[in-house]
Amino acid sequence: QSALNQPASVSGSPGQSITISCTGSSIDVGAYNYVSWYQQHPGKAPKFIIYDVTNRPSGVSNRFSGSKSGNTVSLTISGLRAEDEAVYYCSSFTSVTNPEFGGGTKVTVL
Amino acid sequence: QVYLQESGPGLVKPSETLFLTCNVSGYSISSRYYWGWIRQSPGRGLEWLGTVSHGGNTYYRPSLKSRVTMLRDTSKNHFSLRLSSVTAADTGTYYCVRDSGVRDFDLWGRGTLVTVSS
């Protein structure tokens, strides 16, 4: 049972923008800006796509962006493409158990 | 290019000890960064297990602290995970990762599936 809550699935058509939310609490997302996002394709290891809420690692498309409001962080994928179909996980540093992950959101490109 | 590669047994018996090693190429584990283990299973999702710093300090998931040990061998440039008294709940894919400081994980190994079964 994840401490960070994500919707099970989000879908969109090619070219559209979608947003995935990740809701935590005052001991994790609300307290720290150490939130990261990962993309996982079937059978592959997760890939690091956002860190410190809003920053993109080198080589990650600028179609991926992050934001935060209170205890909720969000990942937005703009200009949705077929290759964006994957499961996305948020992660936050916490004051209790160190890093925790959300349960994952499956993105479907219609 | 930095690569991480897990190795270890794919099958472990209940109550025994799981031992996995992560070989790192392209970067010295004693230079900078932290190095950790994350596992993934259908029931538990992604779960951070522990991290060892470039200086050898260790950080463990509180619920596993009594069963987990992380070691590093700088001469071989690898680090390892030891998980004792395993049960079926420890079945999953184990990933070794590069960690920026017990907070985010920028590089991942391909993962190794470990099954706990008699």
Question: What are the beta bridge partners of residue B113?
Answer: B93
| pLDDT tens readout for residues A17-70 | 999 999 999 899 999 999 999 999 999 999 999 999 999 999 999 999 999 999
Nearest to A48 among B46, B47, B105 (CB): B105
pLDDT over 70 (residue A2): no
B118 vs B91: CA distance, rounded Å: 12
B6 vs A50: CA distance, rounded Å: 24
Angle at CA of residue A59, ends A56 and A64, nearest 5°: 45
Whether residue A96 and residue B110 make contact (CB cut-off 8 A), yes or no, is no
pLDDT of res. A96:
79
Nearest CA in chain A to B106: A48
pLDDT of res. B22:
98
Nearest CA-CA distance, residue A21 and chain B, Å:
17
